[in-house]
Amino acid sequence: MLPRRLHELPPTAGLPLRLTDLCPGAATLAAGIAAQLGTPPLQLECSGTAALLITLTTLRELQPQRRRVVIPAFTCPLVAIAVQQAGLELQLCDLRAGHYDMDATALRAACDERTLAIIPTHLAGRVADVDAAFAAARSVGAYVIEDAAQALGARRNGVSVGLAGDVGFFSLAVGKGLSIYEGGLLLARDPGMREHLARTAARIVPHSLGWEWKRSIELLAYAALYRPRGLRLAYGDPLRRALRRGDPVAAVGDDFPLTIPLHRVGHWRQAVGAHAAARLPAFLDQLSAQAQRRLPRLRRIDGVEVLDDPTNARGTWPFFLLMLPDRQHRDAALAELWQAGLGVSRLFIHALPDYDYLRDIVPTQAVPNARDFAARSLTISNSLWLNDGDFETICGVLETAFA
């Protein structure tokens, strides 16, 4: 194992907050992001999952006879939890072999007149095949919800992701780029749909001083600790403790509560987000430039495949998502790197049917490609704090893992 360092790198590239971001200001977060992305007005919610829950509640009212929601079998457990909380039925779709997209044949087979919505997912900043999901959805009269939780700023055919489907959402959670500790943004190209989403939120989302206090204190702690010295305490040490007790699900934070809180986002957190958002376009450009410099080096490593976007798309680069030849090689590389503080980690630990704590929510289903994806994938941070020397150390370990 590599020697432990004083400085800990985060697994994804978040936009660091500045002291001046914490000053009071105008609550223009949603409007600022909409202007940057060139989208219609965005609707701010207390998390990406809350945004999804509001979407599902809305679509259910529009098509009350439809109850099934089709999601990729390898995605964030929160997506499954939202479907359950909306009172809908989960239908998993296996992945395309070695890819984050849903398999087209499996997708068509999963859809019928009971399908309410399909959720293509822009995983790791990479852009998903929304067209295939759209074709499958329209053939049965279902909606498309783009899960762009990890892809704020990604573009497809020159426009922001989230606008090709009926509804899309971004996450502003910790670890997802721009963060107000927990938050989410809803977008929809159709004004009627936007109005409907706003009405649903007005009806089901309460004010909660308690939640807003909690999130405000968490945001302050995030602002203080999201730097190489603080991350050891806030991220690295808990990660290593979880791995020592053999709990990888806790190590990557896949162990979510089964109830999703709904509350309004307060003025101060919106102002903090609005201050930080002014630096977002330049930050995303820097990440993209660093990624383009480092991708060729990663691709030279035998046996490593780095996932990239389709030709009509430009994703964002919070981290690199790699596929290794098999579980043995992936685990050998992780044994060296996971605890080293170098920002190497895993995305989600399991395919959805394999989480013990989701047993009552997720149907048991054969999803071999999703399982294979969980077994062979590994992530490398694209944080700007990860310098060329650190990056070369990681590449060197990957090379010896195959030698």
Q: Which residues bind ligand PLP (CB under 6 A)?
A: 47-49, 75-76, 78-79, 121, 147, 149-150, 171, 173, 184
Tokens of 176: 């997802």
* Distance, CA of 93 to CA of 322 (rounded, Å): 21
Q: Which residues contact 167 (CB under 8 A, 6 or more apart)?
A: 55, 58, 59, 143, 144, 145, 146, 186, 187, 188, 193, 197
Residue with tokens 């700007």: 384
Q: How far is the CB of 39 from ligand PLP (least distance, A)?
A: 18
On whether the CB atoms of residues 73 and 94 are closer than 8 A, the answer is yes
Rg (CA), the chain: 20
126: helix, strand or coil: coil
**Cβ 316 to ligand PLP, closest distance in Å?**
13
Nearer to ligand PLP, 81 or 111 (CB): 81
Give the residue with the Cβ less far from ligand PLP, 165 or 184.
Answer: 184
Report the candidate in 281, 273, 278, 298 with the shortest Cα–Cα distance to residue 386: 298
39 or 49: CB nearest ligand PLP: 49
Identify which of residues 47 and 160 has a Cβ nearer to ligand PLP in the complex. Answer: 47
DSSP secondary structure string for all residues of 355-371: -GGGTTTSPP---HHHH
Q: How far is the CB of 332 from ligand PLP (least distance, A)?
A: 26
> Closest distance between ligand PLP and the C-beta of residue 169, in Å?
8
Question: Tokens 């959402």 identify what position?
Answer: 169
Whose Cβ is closer to ligand PLP: residue 53's or residue 401's?
53
The span from the CA of 251 to the CA of 244, in Å, is: 10
CB of 369 to ligand PLP, least distance (A): 17
Element (H, E) at 62: helix 48-62
Nearer to ligand PLP (CB atom), residue 169 or residue 391: 169
Nearer to ligand PLP, 111 or 149 (CB): 149
What's the distance, CA 386 to chain centroid? Answer: 21
Least Å distance between CB 324 and ligand PLP? 21
- Count CB atoms within 10 A of the CB of residue 352: 25
Q: How far is the CB of 104 from ligand PLP (least distance, A)?
A: 20
Q: Which is nearer to ligand PLP, 340 or 350 (CB)?
A: 350
Cα three-residue angle 370-375-377, rounded to 5 degrees: 90
| CB closer to ligand PLP, 49 vs 393 | 49
Adjacency order of strands within the sheet including 344-345? 305-306, 319-323, 377-381, 344-345
Cβ of residue 184: shortest distance to ligand PLP, in angstroms? 5
Measured from the Cβ of residue 23, the count of other Cβ atoms closer than 10 Å reads 11
- The 3-class SS string of 329-343 reads HHHHHHHHHCCCCCC
Closest CB to ligand PLP: residue number: 48
User: In angstroms, what is the minimal distance from the CB of 218 to ligand PLP?
Assistant: 13
